[in-house]
Amino acid sequence: MRNICVIGVGYVGLTTAACFADLGNRVVAVDISEERITNLKNGIMPIYEPGMQEMVARNMEARRLSFTTSYQEGLKDAEFVFICVGTPSAVDGEADLRYVRKSAETIAETMDHPLIIINKSTVPVGTGDWVADIVKESQPQHIDFAVVSCPEFLREGSAILDFMNPERTVLGSMDTEAADRVAQLHLPLRAPIIVTDLRTAEMIKYASNAFLATKISFINEIARVCEALGADVKEVAAGMGYDSRIGSQFLEAGIGYGGSCFPKDVLALAHMANIHGRHPQLLTAVMDINADQRIHVVRKLEELLDTIDGKVIGLLGLAFKQNTDDMREAPSITIAEYLQERGATVKGYDPAAMENAKEIMPYLQLASDPYDLAKGCDALITIAPWNEF
C-alpha cells in the first residue's frame, strides 16, 4: 500500500484517485471546491462516468479513499502527489496554467517531508521544469522533491477501463530514482512503461492527441469527397482499417471531435509551434476541417428540407460524445446556434447532459425522452450516438 495525494477531482483527478485506491493504495483527494468535496463525501459525483459512483463508494467504505479541501491533510503521509487540475485554453490558444501554478505553490508551502510531484494534467512542453522552479522558490525551507511527468490517456465514458487497462504508461523525469518509484506504482496495471525526459513525455501526450484528431478530420474530409463521388465512406473506412499501418480506430465519419482534450490540445500544440517559429499547417487544417464539419451537417439538412427557416429540428444527444455529461466544446452548441440563426426551432435530449446543456443553451427546448423529442420535429440530427438512439 502506498500513500497518494491527488490534487483536483475532475475527470482525471477523480479517476486517478478512485482507481489507485481500488488497486489497494491509500488515497486522499484534495480540491479547493467545498461544494464538490461535500458532495463527494455524500456520494454525489461531479461528473457522469460509468462505474465511477460504485468505485468511489466501495473505496470510501474500505477507508482507502477520502476527500478534503485541506492540502495539509492530503499531504500528511503522502509519498506521491498527482497534480490533476484543469488547463483550459487562453484566448490565444496557450494553455492556462494558473491552477497548476497555484497547486505547485501550495504543495511547496505545505509539504514537510520529501515528495514525488507528478504532473498528470495536460501541460505545455517545459511545464515540468517550470513546476520544479516554482516549488523551489515557494518552499519556506528546502525539502527534497522530484517532478515526474505522467500524462493521462483517458477517454471520457471509458475512463476507468482506460486507467485499469492502459496501452502504455509514459513517465518523464530527470530523476531516474523518482521515475522508477512512479513506475513501480503503475506495475499492477501490467502495461509497457516508457521512461524518458520531462519534455519528451509532455510532447508524447500532445502528439498523440493531435494525431487522433488528425484521423478524425481526415475521414471527415474523405466523407465529403465520397458524397460527391457516390462512394460509401463507412465501407471506405472499414477497408482502410484492415491495414495495420492505419488501424480502424478514429476513422468514423461524423460531426467532428469535441470535449476537453482534443480541441484545446491541438490548439495549444499549434500555439507552441507558432511561438517557436514553426508553421503548423497540418494542425491548422485539422482544426479548420473540424469547425467546418459542424456547419456541413446543417447545410446537408438544408438540402434535404429545402429550407430550415420555420422548421423544428431535434438534436439526439447534447454532450460532445456518448457516456458523458461533458458539454465542453460540444458540437451541439455550434449546430444549435447555427440552426437558430437560420430560423429553426431547436429541441434537444441527452441521457446525461440535460442539466449542463440547460445552462449553456437556455433557448433549447428540452425533451423528456427520444420519442418526446421526435414529436413535431421536421428532422433529427444524431449528435452523440448513445446506445438508446
Cα 374 to Cα 368: distance, rounded to the nearest angstrom: 11
Looking at the structure, tell me whether residues 44 and 178 fall in a common domain.
Answer: yes
Name the domain count of the chain: 2
Residue 90 scores a pLDDT above 90: no
- The answer to whether residues 250 and 360 belong to one domain is yes
Average pLDDT, integer, range 281-299: 97
Any domain includes 119:
yes
172 & 305 share domain:
no
Same domain? 348 vs 297: yes
Closest CA to 32 of 61, 77, 74: 74
Co-location of 231 and 85 in the same domain: no
Q: What mean pLDDT comes out for the span 292-318?
A: 96
Q: Among this protein's residues, is 84 annotated catalytic?
A: no
pTM over 0.85: yes
* Residues 366 and 265 placed together within one structural domain of the fold: yes
Instruction: Give yes or no: residues 214 and 116 share one domain.
Output: no
Q: Is 220 found in the same domain as 190?
A: no
| CA-closest candidate to residue 344, choices 314, 318, 372, 373 | 314
How does the average pLDDT of the chain come out, rounded? 97
Q: Count of alpha carbons within 13 Å of 100, Cβ hemisphere only?
A: 26
Question: Of 150, 226, 261, 377, which one is the catalytic site residue?
Answer: 261
A 10 A CB-CB count for 257 gives 25
C-alpha–C-alpha distance, residues 128 and 137, integer Å:
14
Query: Does residue 249 belong to any structural domain of this protein?
Result: yes
Quick one: 316 and 358 in the same domain? yes
CA distances from 105 to 83, 102, 132, 211, 379 (A): 12, 5, 10, 33, 53
State residue 377's pLDDT score. 98
Could you say which DSSP state residue 232 is in?
Answer: -
Average pLDDT over residues 149-177: 97
Gap between the Cα atoms of 282 and 356, Å rounded: 33
> Could you tell me if residue 289 is inside a domain?
yes
Question: So what's the pLDDT on residue 93?
Answer: 84
Q: Identify the CATH number of the domain in which residue 56 sits.
A: 3.40.50.720
The yes-or-no verdict on residue 92 having pLDDT over 80 is no
* Distance from chain centroid for Cα 128: 20
Which residues form the domain of 67? Answer: 3-196
Q: What is the pLDDT of residue 375?
A: 97
The answer on 213 and 188 residing in a single domain is: no
Q: Final residue of a domain: which of 196, 223, 258?
A: 196
Q: What is the pLDDT of residue 145?
A: 98
Residues 86 and 139 reside in one and the same domain: yes
Classify strands 193-196 and 365-366 as parallel, antiparallel or unpaired. unpaired
Q: Which of 144, 166, 196 is the last residue of a domain?
A: 196
Question: What value does the mean pLDDT take over residues 92-97?
Answer: 88
Contact indicator for 349, 321 with CB cutoff of 8 Å: no
pLDDT tens for 164-196 read 999 999 999 999 999 999 999 999 999 999 999
**pLDDT 10s digits, 199-237:** 999 999 999 999 999 999 999 999 999 999 999 999 999
pLDDT tens digits, one per residue of 34-54: 999 999 999 999 999 999 999
Same domain, 118 and 232: no
